[in-house]
Amino acid sequence: MAKKLYIPGPVEVSLDVMEAMRAPMVGHRMKEYAQVHQRVTEALQTMLNTSDPVFLSTSSAFGVMEGAVRNLVQKRCANFANGAFSKKWHDVTLRCGLQADLHSAEWGQPITAAMVDKALATGKYDAMTLVHNETSTGVMSPLEEIAAVMEKYPAVSFIVDTVSSMSAVSLDVAALGTDVCLAGVQKAFGLPPGLAVFAASRKALDKARTTPNRGYYFDFEEFEKNDLKHNTPSTPCISLIYALDHQLQKFAAEGLENRYARHRAMAERTRSWIEEQGFGLFAAEGCRSLTLTCGKNDARTDLETLKKLAAERDYAIDNGYGKIKNQTFRIPHMADMTMEDLDELFTLLEELLPQARS
Ligand SMILES: Cc1ncc(COP(=O)(O)O)c(C=O)c1O
């Protein structure tokens, strides 16, 4: 039997979403595709409050993360890192043969506006990368404060990973002034993996055209040229785009503000439950994620055993990521999840915890 997913991505996918993927196939150069593409990209523009294009990339998020640095780093990139995914982005930037420096905060702490200001004031950089919501640690950095600092550095491309926050929290791209704001759909969007979306600013698109060696698959100029015809540079994952179309209509029916409030309420409930069980919260106060909560293990719980016991009951749970595996665990509260789903998980864990504790 399939396990019910309580991991922070890929998340559990609703049956109606899977059903939407069964719509008949069309060719991506047919007008039927262009209609869906236009509807989806316009809905994303509305959700992100931008009149600049939002592109659809048939890749996971790291494709666009790599593409963004290849298109936008001409001089040197500042990679801000406070967890596994943000740190990996530095590695990816270097692997692309680009000049880059890592600016780190402790895991569990946010990237602050002051840190960004200090690094960029050196004048060394023409691009920076930031992960808004570090899925490895459950930290949500203060994007609006960082965006306010970025106004001082208009020549520095502002590249933001909102992989596990886009669609769950309000992201006003026009007000933030991001040059790239990207996400994969297997997190807060509640879709199967394989598609990434990204909003690119006019400034970023103009700069990208002057950047050498940006390859083909993630060339922003190719995305723009094709998007003007409601199309993609190469064959897209059409079934996933049907599912995104369906999901965006569901977001509208729920109401975005209600959706954001649902995530906030689930985050608050999860934090309380974790503390009631005697665990701590890994992320520092004031920067705790609204889409997943990272609990700090106590000295008496064997998280591997807990995970195994949950698996025997057909539930997939998380026991931490990267260097904090087993010292922490993450509970997602995003996408189509409801308070009832959380209660189901908490009931199960309350039953299993005594067997995993010494
Ligand atoms: C914040 C963040 N960035 C990037 C990624 C990488 O995404 P993908 O595996 O879709 O390339 C993840 C995946 O969990 C993530 O959580």
Name the DSSP class of 325: B
Percent of the chain with pLDDT over 70: 100
Residue 62 CA: which ligand 1 atom is closest? 11
Residue 131 sits at φ, ψ, to 5 deg, of -100, 115
Residue 346 makes CB contacts below 8 A (sequence gap 6+) with: 273
Give the pLDDT score at 358. 86
Give the pLDDT score at 35. 98
Residue 188 CB less than 6 A away from ligand 1: no
Q: Are residues 272 and 237 in the same domain?
A: no
Residue 229: which pLDDT band, with cuts at 50, 70 and 90? very high
In 195-285, where do the E strands start and end? 196-200, 280-281
Say how many residues make up the chain. Answer: 358
Residue 166's SS3 state is strand
Q: Are residues 278 and 311 in the same domain?
A: yes
pLDDT at 196 over 80: yes
Residue 219 CB less than 6 A away from ligand 1: no
From residue 309, give the alpha-carbon distance in Å to each of 162, 238, 305, 306.
32, 38, 6, 5
User: Using an 8 Å Cβ cutoff, are 128 and 159 in contact?
Assistant: yes
Q: Are residues 264 and 248 in the same domain?
A: no
Q: Are residues 177 and 279 in the same domain?
A: no
- How many whole angstroms from 171 Cα to the centroid of ligand 1? 18
Residue 164 CB less than 6 A away from ligand 1: yes
Instruction: Output the residue whose Cα is nearest ligand 1's atom 7.
Output: 61
Pocket test for ligand 1, best of 58, 59, 62, 141 (most atoms within 8 A of CB): 62
Q: Are residues 260 and 235 in the same domain?
A: no
Give the pLDDT score at 355. 97
pLDDT at 1 over 80: no
Give the pLDDT score at 116. 99
Burial of 243 (0-12, 13-18, 19+ CB in 10 A): buried
Percent of the chain with pLDDT over 90: 99
Residue 118 makes CB contacts below 8 A (sequence gap 6+) with: none
Q: Render pLDDT for 286-339 as a digit per residue (tens, 0 to 9).
A: 999 999 999 999 989 999 999 999 999 999 999 999 999 999 999 999 999 999
Q: Are residues 127 and 197 in the same domain?
A: yes
* Span 207-224, average pLDDT: 98
- Strands 180-184 and 157-161: what pairing? parallel
The CATH number of whichever domain residue 36 belongs to comes to 3.40.640.10
The CATH number of whichever domain residue 315 belongs to comes to 3.90.1150.10
Q: Are residues 83 and 197 in the same domain?
A: yes
Residue 135 CB less than 6 A away from ligand 1: yes
Q: Are residues 103 and 55 in the same domain?
A: yes
Residue 239 CB less than 6 A away from ligand 1: no
Q: Are residues 201 and 267 in the same domain?
A: no
Give the pLDDT score at 285. 97
Q: Render pLDDT for 135-173 as a digit per residue (tens, 0 to 9).
A: 999 999 999 999 999 999 999 999 999 999 999 999 999
Residue 92: which pLDDT band, with cuts at 50, 70 and 90? very high
pLDDT at 265 over 80: yes
Give the pLDDT score at 299. 85
Q: Are residues 339 and 228 in the same domain?
A: no
Residue 165 CB less than 6 A away from ligand 1: no
What is the enclosing helix (H) or strand (E) of 241?
A: helix 238-254
Give the chain's domain count. 2
pLDDT at 60 over 80: yes
Instruction: Output the residue whose Cα is nearest ligand 1's atom 4.
Output: 85
In angstroms, the CA 290 to CA 84 distance is: 18
Pocket test for ligand 1, best of 139, 164, 166 (most atoms within 8 A of CB): 164
Residue 14 CB less than 6 A away from ligand 1: no
Residue span of the structural domain in which 283 resides: 4-10+256-356
Residue 254: which pLDDT band, with cuts at 50, 70 and 90? very high
Residue at which a domain ends, from 252, 285, 308: 252
Pocket test for ligand 1, best of 57, 163, 321, 330 (most atoms within 8 A of CB): 163
From residue 304, give the alpha-carbon distance in Å to each of 8, 331, 358.
17, 15, 13
Exposed e or buried b for every residue in 325-350, given b needs 16+ CB within 10 A? eeebbbbbbbbbbeeebbeebbebbe
Q: Are residues 228 and 301 in the same domain?
A: no
Pocket test for ligand 1, best of 57, 85, 160 (most atoms within 8 A of CB): 85
Residue 61 CB less than 6 A away from ligand 1: yes
Q: Render pLDDT for 104-140 as a digit per residue (tens, 0 to 9).
A: 999 999 999 999 999 999 999 999 999 999 999 999 9
The mean pLDDT of the chain is 98
Residue at which a domain ends, from 221, 252, 283: 252
Residue 184 CB less than 6 A away from ligand 1: yes
Q: Are residues 289 and 194 in the same domain?
A: no
Residue at which a domain ends, from 252, 271, 297: 252
Which tokens in the block code for residue 59? 């890749």
